[in-house]
Structure 1
Amino acid sequence: MIALYADYIANLRALFSELDRRPEDFQTFNVRLELAAAGGLIVYETTRRKGQTDSLYYGRSAAGANQQISQGSAFSAIDRFFALGQFLALTVETNGRKGSSVIDARYPHCAVNFSYRKKGQPVTRSMLMVFIGFNDEADALQFAAATINSSALVAERPHYMERSYEWK
């Protein structure tokens, strides 16, 4: 069986929206989201340490070079990905090989590295995972069934490995 992540992504989407709209609610954060879709790449990167926030948002088309884009454009692209109907996650660590062997350019995928501590919280929470987005559960299950290296897909939640993990 394969683990489905629509509920997890819904919560992540809400947290991402909150951070984008009200960063002052967070004591610290370090967020890097890399969305690969339709041959292009969108990167949303922002960090707050010691009261200082640094951000970088850029995109690249299939044939182009990196180009700086607005925060709103980067946010919208990532938010559209998070609005898809179903998600699978890569284990990243599959017998010493990267999980990229199952990445199919026909499906958008997003690497999520998200660490934060809200004001008043005693500890920082962090997660690091790669998600593949699908229109619905049927598409996700069909993709999983056709994947040759099924061990590259997360089968059990919560997922914790040395280099990829749900919240800790």
Structure 2
Amino acid sequence: MIVFYADYIANLRALFSELDRHPEQFQTFNVRLELVAGGGLFVYETKRRKGQTDSLYYARSATGANQQISQASAFSAIDRFFALGEFAALTAEAAGGQGADVIDTLFPHCAVNFSYRKKGQPVARSMLMVFVGFNDTADAERYVETSGSSAFVSERPHYTERSYEWK
């Protein structure tokens, strides 16, 4: 039985929006989101350590080279992905390349590496997962059935060395 992540992504979307709009509320963060959708790649990368913030936002078409884009464009692409109706998460083995046949380029997928500590919080939190996005639960169930369920997370919370929910 595959578990789905619409609720998790809704919370992640809110946190991502907060970080994008109000980074001053965070003591530290290290965020890298890589979205593959429509034959292109969108990357939103930003980090703050010791009061210094470094950011990089770029896109690449299927046939082109990397091209720097604005923060707003990168945010918009990722936010549209997070607005989809349902999500399945790949297991660490599938996300690490052993399940490349599971990822259908017709469905957007996003690697999320998100670590942060808000001001006033005693500890940092981090997560590392790859999500496949779908219009709704019916689409997600059909896709999972045809692609093999062993590539998808089947129990929540999900924790392995190479892929984990918030810790």
| TM-score, normalized by the shorter chain, greater than 0.5 | yes
Aligned to 2:24, the other structure's residue is in SS state helix
Task: Give the 3-state SS of the residue equivalent to 2:93 in structure 1.
Answer: coil
What SS does structure 1 have at the residue aligned with 2:11? helix
Partner of residue 132, structure 1 = 132
Runs of 4+ in structure 1 over 6 Å off: none
Q: What amino acid does structure 2 have at the position aligned with 1:151?
A: S
User: Mind listing any 5+ residue stretches in structure 1 that lack a counterpart?
Assistant: none
Aligned-partner SS, 1:102: coil
Q: What is the match of residue 143 of structure 2?
A: 143
Aligned-residue Cα RMSD (Å) equals 1.1
In the alignment, is residue 81 of structure 1 matched against residue 77 of structure 2?
Answer: no
Matches within 5 A, 1:87-126: 87-93=87-93, 98-126=98-126
Map of 1:53 onto structure 2: 53
Match of 2:25 in 1: 25
* Percent sequence identity over aligned pairs: 78
Q: How many residue pairs are counted as aligned between the two chains? A: 166
The question of whether the paired residues in 2 share the 8 Å contact of 1:29 and 1:117 is answered with: yes
Q: How does the TM-score come out when normalised to structure 1?
A: 0.96
Cα distance change on mapping 1:99 and 1:71 into 2, 3 Å: same
Deviations, residues 72-100 of structure 1 (Å, cap 9, x unaligned): 00000000000000000000225x96333
Structure 2 Cα separation of the partners of residues 12 and 109 of structure 1: 15
Segments of structure 2 that go 5 or more residues without pairing to the other structure are: none
**Aligned partner of 2:77: which letter?**
A
Tell me the residue number matched to 2:164: 165
Question: What secondary structure sits across from 2:100 in the alignment?
Answer: helix
Equivalent residue letter for 2:162? R
Q: Structure 2 length as normaliser, TM-score? A: 0.97
